[in-house]
Structure 1
């Protein structure tokens, strides 16, 4: 699976697990609804800044959004 598709699938799974709508994620990350939808469908390649913004809103480590499901147990919470 290509990285864009892995990222999109992981974003969708994490967003849904946290009970956020696509609209909420888009608003909270400062991105358009259509762009976030394209990210989730693997139709856009996210920049590192985009990965960080999405991970921040989802309160998870950026790497957890980029890692294939087989190699990750689930969203990794950010610890400070």
Structure 2
């Protein structure tokens, strides 16, 4: 299981479900749009603190960012 890709897919899915752009999440989280784009593509390995802060920006549980999906 590639956790980077899993987190990226979950982040993108949750962001879209909330109707947010990467730029809006950038404002909420303080992470650059470039970082968020790389994260969604599975090219970043976020820390636990980063996962928590991103979850806060999306107003979801941090667990939702690491939950397995059917695409593994």
Q: Measure how far apart 1:59 and its partner are.
A: 1.0
Moved over 4 A (4+): none
In structure 2, the partner of 1:51 is: 51
Higher relative contact order (CA 8 A, sep 6+): 2
Aligned residues: 70
Residue pairs, 1:61-72, within 5 angstroms: 61-70=61-70
Residue pairs, 1:1-80, within 5 angstroms: 1-70=1-70
Task: Provide the rounded CA distance (Å) in 1 between the counterparts of 2:28 and 2:4.
Answer: 21
Unaligned runs of 5+ in 1: 71-80
1:27–1:33 contact (8 Å) kept in structure 2: no
1:52–1:62 contact (8 Å) kept in structure 2: yes
**Aligned with 1:31: secondary structure?**
coil
Task: Provide the rounded CA distance (Å) in 2 between the counterparts of 1:56 and 1:7.
Answer: 15
**Aligned with 1:69: secondary structure?**
coil
Q: Measure how far apart 1:44 and its partner are.
A: 0.6
**Aligned with 1:64: secondary structure?**
helix
Q: Measure how far apart 1:64 and its partner are.
A: 1.0
